[in-house]
Amino acid sequence: MNGGFRALEEKVFDRDLCVSCGACVSLCPYLRSWQGRTVKLDDCDLAEGRCFDYCPRGRVDLDELHRKLFGGPYKEMEIGKVLNVFMARARDSVWTGKAQNGGVVSALTDLAIKEGIIDAAVLTGRGTNLLPKGHIATDREDIFACAGSIYTSGPTLEALNRGPWNGDERIGVVGLPCMVLALAKMRTSSLETQTPIDRVEMVIGLFCTWALDYKSFMAFLRERFGDLPIGKVDIAPPPERLMKITAGDELHHIPLDEVRGFIRSGCHVCADMTSEFSDISVGTVEGEEGWNTLLVRTERGEELVKLAESQTVIESRPLPGDKLSHLREASLLKKRRAIDAMRDRGGLEEGYLTLSQELIRQIQSESKEGA
């Protein structure tokens, strides 16, 4: 038996590991999302619960999950199972103007809806005061409204749980690695009964090193910029190490070290940088402004990307070898840090890390060699 609400409290909330992905919200009357946090309204004594079963910071048997979803054990210790790697950008300037990088995520979502591959997509929009919020997009306007990155984490998956759904839609989801892992857990859970996870036809995962805590980051922005409206927020790749924030009409550069203190504690134990359980993973290409790195992981992901290329929705190029090596290194570094952070919290001994013991040993020995 995996555990219920009490396990969620003890193993996740009390250890400050919740990342507010929203997977446990709107499943029952007891958990709600408030100001970027998942909060409990009342106690629940069920010995088993979907809340804990779906939690990406709960126990995960990565090998088992991989076998169920991809038909084989978890072997690739850097960026997960990949069929194809390349760089791409959207051709339509509608996306490139507002999107975070090359606009590929928005362009692919738009194409998937236009072609009837999905009827709706669960995206993340900015609510009032930059609060990230799950949003069900059914047309280009909705997708456009959600384009760009919000560097705080929020309850995107609540929108999947809550709907409203008619019951026959095919659904797409765009999410961070924690959300993509939660979706994989939902899909393979023996407790699953009510969410529309069986109708999720396409998962586009984002690369992510960390996300910020909403409340503390907002307090920081208010102290810095008062009531000025905040526009695009971007993170310049190394060696710059800057957060670029448009406040009012001005672009400000803030050293990343000034915001690191707001990184969610639960992000430190996350071992996945590239959303390894998605159909397609998308991130930036360091040093190539306006381009995305794409990792195509499944056949249905491949079909969507091929369609996008054939309809000239995206243009693509091979990803240079040095960029791929760098991505692998960065991804491995995130795993290594997660192992250390999890050990510090006692979770490694309890088997909470989402990696097999053999891979943990391999990653640690690589880290010693590379140190």
Ligand X SMILES: Cc1cc2nc3c(=O)[nH]c(=O)nc-3n(C[C@H](O)[C@H](O)[C@H](O)COP(=O)(O)OP(=O)(O)OC[C@H]3O[C@@H](n4cnc5c(N)ncnc54)[C@H](O)[C@@H]3O)c2cc1C
List interacting residues with ligand X (CB under 6 A): 95, 99-106, 123-124, 132, 146-151, 153-154, 156, 174-176, 206-209, 211, 282-284, 292
| Smallest distance from ligand X to CB 136, Å | 11
| Smallest distance from ligand X to CB 165, Å | 18
Q: Which is nearer to ligand X, 31 or 174 (CB)?
A: 174
| Smallest distance from ligand X to CB 5, Å | 25
Q: Which is nearer to ligand X, 209 or 364 (CB)?
A: 209
**How crowded is residue 135: how many other Cβ atoms within 10 Å of its Cβ?**
18
Would you say 292 and 282 are in contact if contact means Cβ atoms under 8 Å apart? yes
First to last CA, the chain: 40
Q: Which is nearer to ligand X, 146 or 270 (CB)?
A: 146
Q: Which is nearer to ligand X, 63 or 286 (CB)?
A: 286
- The tally of CA atoms less than 13 A away on the side-chain side of residue 361 is 3
Distance, in Å, from the CA atom of 160 to the CA atom of 249, rounded to the nearest integer, reads 35
DSSP assignment, residue 361? H
| Smallest distance from ligand X to CB 28, Å | 23
| Smallest distance from ligand X to CB 151, Å | 5
Q: Which is nearer to ligand X, 18 or 105 (CB)?
A: 105
Q: Which is nearer to ligand X, 77 or 211 (CB)?
A: 211
Would you say 208 and 214 are in contact if contact means Cβ atoms under 8 Å apart? no
| Smallest distance from ligand X to CB 301, Å | 14
Phi, psi at residue 185, to the nearest 5°?
A: -70, -40
> Tokens for 265?
């504690």
For ligand X, which residue has the nearest CB? 283
3-state SS, 201-231, equals: EEEEEECCCCCECHHHHHHHHHHHHCCCCEE
Three-class secondary structure of residue 325 per DSSP: helix
| Smallest distance from ligand X to CB 207, Å | 4
DSSP assignment, residue 320? P
Measured CA to CA in angstroms, residue 21 lies from 36, 95, 121, 248, 334 at distances of 9, 25, 16, 29, 19
Q: Which is nearer to ligand X, 136 or 363 (CB)?
A: 136
